[in-house]
Structure 1
């Protein structure tokens, strides 16, 4: 009996997270199924533009970059949702007054965002496999997706908790999105950058996510000195770091 009670207690945050995801994701999609299309426009539009401009030459980079961009976008969008729920609907006040922890709330909304982007992510991941991925690389692909999605969700939660107005959250998150997906070598080879800037590029988790996708697709554009272990280490460090920040430094209760 005691073991059963402990197991139920340990599973409570998981059930709470899925309930939040159902409330903010499934119920919305039932009323607005076209949201699945709208959320996929950004990564696929850039993929299309790069394909046309390069005449198909950089399609591999476009696929890798679009998947990374989608993951960053869906992760950081968590921050916009939290700001909206906090400032407009005051829903966060309800969860603050309940036994729900900040991390459970974050995970529930992150799962909701993942639900919105699931069709686009499946399509982009399928393109990665189509452009050279093998069955044995599926675990690596899934791990890469989860790492970048998890770290970006935690980053979005942390940033939004310090934003008092919805407009500020939108501006900051849009700026961070550009910094993480457009400026680093996500859509283009890192060799296009001056070597003096490589350390700065390696400091970005999205650079390693793109390189790992290039590795999965068997591209010969990986720079010397970079390794799969290095890419994993940087992404895991970002995930742990921002989850720790979200847990300890995010503003959960308004003073």
Structure 2
């Protein structure tokens, strides 16, 4: 890195180490994770008042169920706005329903185990919700989904953008956040394909088994090492991958 960060956006990441039902049984609430994230975001309130965002990933949900959720806001009280758009959906539930983790995770967003939040201190770009983190790169394969939030002061955004173009990509904008998201995403895709080809070569024909094994074998450190190789500037970022891996790099 050649530059120090000149501003301090707020970032918070948390993973529940036990199933949701454990927190219901022990603490009497299904919102243990959401409550903790609210506190972590409020503690950093002064770091970013231009916007806020929260993402959540559910683990071990069946195909056909939404497992990645995200809310972002540029309201004058963005943290309050984010949670005011999440919590009302649980109103009207019975006590029995609020104590049933399987039901909640099947029917409601933000009942997962992995959380990532960001508070925006705007320095570049308009104060629009599209500029709020976390950013999401979606795919139909869980291990190719990527959620990223960070604090950047990159000095070679143009170079990184041109590297993406040279790979054959067509980035939608030159912003450093989008460029970094797509750069990590490129190497995430490459690692997925390498593992897929290897497992097929090893004689595994069941693609569902291959997907599960990719999640077990994904080398996140290798992906990030390749992605960060050309980054120049100051940065700290957190990320979530759809199957449940998470990372912090700086």
* TM-score under structure 2 length normalisation: 0.26
Higher share of residues assigned helix: 1
Higher relative contact order (CA 8 A, sep 6+): 1
* TM-score under structure 1 length normalisation: 0.26
Higher share of residues assigned strand: 2
